[in-house]
Structure 1
Amino acid sequence: MTTRLCTICARGGSKGVPGKNVRDLHGKPLLAHTIEHARDSGAFDTIAVSSDDEHILRTAREYGVDVLVDRPLELASDVAGKPAAIAHAVREAEAATGAHFDTVVDLDVTSPLRLPSDVTAAIALLESSDADNVISAAPARRSPYFNLVELDEGGHVRLSKPLPEAVLRRQDAPRTFDMNASIYVWRRDVFLADPKVFYGRTLLYEMPEERSVDVDSELDWVIVDHLFGSREHA
């Protein structure tokens, strides 16, 4: 039987939206929405929240997570990579529970519009394949082959990824996706041996744009708040 761990990593510091992880969104802290996605999916043996902030850990306890992970400060800075923090949370959760998990899933707090069915579908995609991991993404609104540009060393604009033959319509360009920072699924042993996002066998779980807003600014918060309201009145 496959055993699964859900990690939810929530730092105390946030420059774009101060205090966002415990800020109220439609009657509950932002963090609580992701905890409920994990629980409502029915997919996990253990749910762990990792944070350097006591307020966040206290909130996680109030919403019934299984393991609270006190994240070291060196894994909670602006320059610390998230895979290292997730790996730390996995080891701490295994030490606390005595379990050895087969599948590790990280759900980002800043993606409250996902559905529990997205979580279970992403897990199923990994576990029904020989892939190393799965990441979630939404169709990109801009294409590096058509209308995404960059500046060269001389300050001149150019297409980011030109093809030998120019693409005249966006619909004719290869499909591209925006990582929506919502769901990451790994085979536990692969991940702990080399914690990262991309491997030789990484699959993509596609989510629609309306469930893929990542809260990274006040504008994002306004959009998420509006979409939540629209969902409640649908």
Structure 2
Amino acid sequence: MTCETLAIIPARGGSKRVPRKNVREVAGKPLIAHTIEHATSANRIDRTIVSTDDKEIAEVAKEYGADVPFMRPEKLATDTAALPDTVTHAVSNLQSEETNYDYICILQATSPLRTSADIDGALAKLDDTEADSCLTVSKYVTPPQWAVTRDENGSLYEFFDFETLWTDEPDRSQDIPELYHPNGAVFVTSIEAWRKHESFYTPHTVGYEMPPERSFDVDEPWELKLVRSLLE
């Protein structure tokens, strides 16, 4: 039986830290265009839609090959709007169509360094493990166990563990367990699991590892400049 996978790219018009970031030029095309091209080139994606409240984003999305079957309501396009509500809204709006999707793949437009192979890899990992959901992760470049904070006098002190942080023995760093963090590039789940949990974090969530150099999530002006340099 053939399984159908729907890619949803959420892209609202408002962005305070990087105004209009989804349509800002990056390596000769709008930022969102990179993600649309990743999705439409992925072997495991059957349809790519953009969920937006913004007419300009909608036009750009169509120009680069994505569908915009509906406009997102204003209440789901605020700074405080939750991603799960946006996903559920998209799935509900497509229920009247003849195609029944088996999997949902969320691709954030702010992750332009991910590849089509990353998308296919995350979906393959979901299949191979029979998990409820899979998300892309990358290793911490700096171990979070080395985190410090300041007291009221400005003096540094360890946030987690004294013995792990304050050591003059270089080899001790090799003893620190490797930790990973979700990088925001790809989230996949089955429709069945979504209807049950309405979250990508389920009792059986697995990770597909991406290298740190492809794991940037554009949220600040300096990050936009960095990905421009890397892609150009």
Q: TM-score, normalised by structure 2?
A: 0.89
How many angstroms apart in 1 are the aligned matches of 2:124 and 2:153?
A: 48
8 Å Cα contact 2:58-2:68 kept in structure 1: no
Distance 1:152 1:174, change over 3 A: farther
CA displacement at 1:16 relative to structure 2:
1.4
Match of 2:176 in 1: 173
Unpaired segments of 5 or more residues in structure 2? none
Task: Give SS of 2:94's match.
Answer: helix
How many pairs does the alignment contain? 226
1:77 aligns to 2:78 (yes or no): yes
Supply the AA of the counterpart residue of 1:224: V
Supply the AA of the counterpart residue of 2:98: G
Task: Give SS of 1:203's match.
Answer: strand
Unpaired segments of 5 or more residues in structure 1? 230-234
How many angstroms apart in 1 are the aligned matches of 2:93 and 2:73?
A: 12
The worse-fitting range, judged by mean Cα deviation, of 66-75 and 117-126 is 66-75
CA displacement at 1:187 relative to structure 2:
1.2
Aligned with 1:222 (options 219, 222, 225):
225
Match of 1:232 in 2: none
How many angstroms apart in 2 are the aligned matches of 1:90 and 1:170?
A: 46
Distance 1:91 1:144, change over 3 A: same
Supply the AA of the counterpart residue of 2:178: R
CA displacement at 1:142 relative to structure 2:
2.7
Give matches, 1:107-122, under 5 Å: 107-122=107-122
How many angstroms apart in 1 are the aligned matches of 2:132 and 2:154?
A: 40
Match of 2:190 in 1: 187
How many angstroms apart in 2 are the aligned matches of 1:125 and 1:47?
A: 20
Match of 2:20 in 1: 19
How many angstroms apart in 2 are the aligned matches of 1:134 and 1:156?
A: 41
Supply the AA of the counterpart residue of 1:217: E
8 Å Cα contact 1:17-1:218 kept in structure 2: yes
8 Å Cα contact 2:40-2:47 kept in structure 1: no
Match of 2:204 in 1: 201
Match of 2:51 in 1: 50
- 1:152-171, Cα deviation, whole Å (9 max, x unpaired): 899875434338x6465333
Q: Could you say what the CA RMSD is over the residues aligned between the two structures, in angstroms?
A: 2.1
CA displacement at 1:100 relative to structure 2:
1.8
Distance 1:78 1:39, change over 3 A: same
Give matches, 1:73-112, under 5 Å: 73-95=74-96, 97-112=97-112
How many angstroms apart in 1 are the aligned matches of 2:154 and 2:205?
A: 35
8 Å Cα contact 2:141-2:212 kept in structure 1: no
8 Å Cα contact 2:188-2:200 kept in structure 1: no
Distance 1:54 1:185, change over 3 A: same
How many angstroms apart in 2 are the aligned matches of 1:83 and 1:34?
A: 19
Supply the AA of the counterpart residue of 2:65: G
Task: Give SS of 2:78's match.
Answer: coil
How many angstroms apart in 1 are the aligned matches of 2:44 and 2:19?
A: 31
CA displacement at 1:130 relative to structure 2:
2.1
How many angstroms apart in 2 are the aligned matches of 1:148 and 1:14?
A: 29
Give matches, 1:132-147, under 5 Å: 132-145=132-145, 147=146
Task: Give SS of 1:128's match.
Answer: helix
Distance 1:106 1:153, change over 3 A: farther
Distance 1:52 1:155, change over 3 A: farther
Percent identity, aligned pairs only, is 38
How many angstroms apart in 1 are the aligned matches of 2:205 and 2:154?
A: 35
8 Å Cα contact 2:40-2:65 kept in structure 1: no
